[in-house]
Amino acid sequence: MNYNWNVYKVFKNGNRAKAPLTTFESTEEDAQTHFEHIIKKGFTGKMLKSEFKIVRSDLPQYENTVSEEEKFSKEKNRVLARIVKRKNIQHKYGISTSLVYCRESEWRWQWAAIETGTSKFISGLSELFDTYSGAQAWMQDQITNLG
């Protein structure tokens, strides 16, 4: 059975173009081969070296799933915001949070509140960790306990 396929350019930063570059018709089994040997042959210059994503036009064009990295980042921000609120940390300039390795954390890894713009250490939000992976594991535990 033949389907229509949308071809999207994938940029160097990994983002996909919002609008399809072109559309073609092919069977599901031959779509990639058809694109590589027929459609892509018509491209010139830099387009030949570009990456592309092919999506069947009758299916959703955008993935509804959030990447694991984005999900971790959102949950991490929730955890750290709750700790800042619980500790009642206030600063005349804005507060951001970060994983730091600095003199104030005794040259060990620590989740901390920092001054927005200058990244000046304000307060530790977690215990101190000897390794980066230890700090990440602690955060993963906090996210799991967030419920």
Q: What is the pLDDT of residues 114-125, one digit of tens each?
A: 999 999 999 999
Encoded tokens for 106: 């005794």
> With the C-alpha atoms ordered 109, 110, 116, 122, is the resulting torsion angle positive or negative?
negative
pLDDT band at residue 66 under the 50/70/90 scheme: low
Which letter does DSSP use for residue 51 in this model?
A: E
* pTM score, whole prediction: 0.57
Q: What is the pLDDT of residues 67-84, one digit of tens each?
A: 677 788 889 999 999 999
Q: What is the pLDDT of residues 17-61, one digit of tens each?
A: 889 999 999 998 899 999 999 999 888 888 888 899 999 999 888
Q: What is the pLDDT of residues 90-99, one digit of tens each?
A: 888 889 999 9
Encoded tokens for 58: 């009758």
Instruction: Give the CB-side neighbour count of residue 6, counting CA atoms within 13 A.
Output: 16
pLDDT band at residue 147 under the 50/70/90 scheme: low
Mean pLDDT of 2-7: 93
Count the neighbouring beta carbons within 10 Å of the beta carbon of residue 46.
7
Encoded tokens for 129: 């960790």
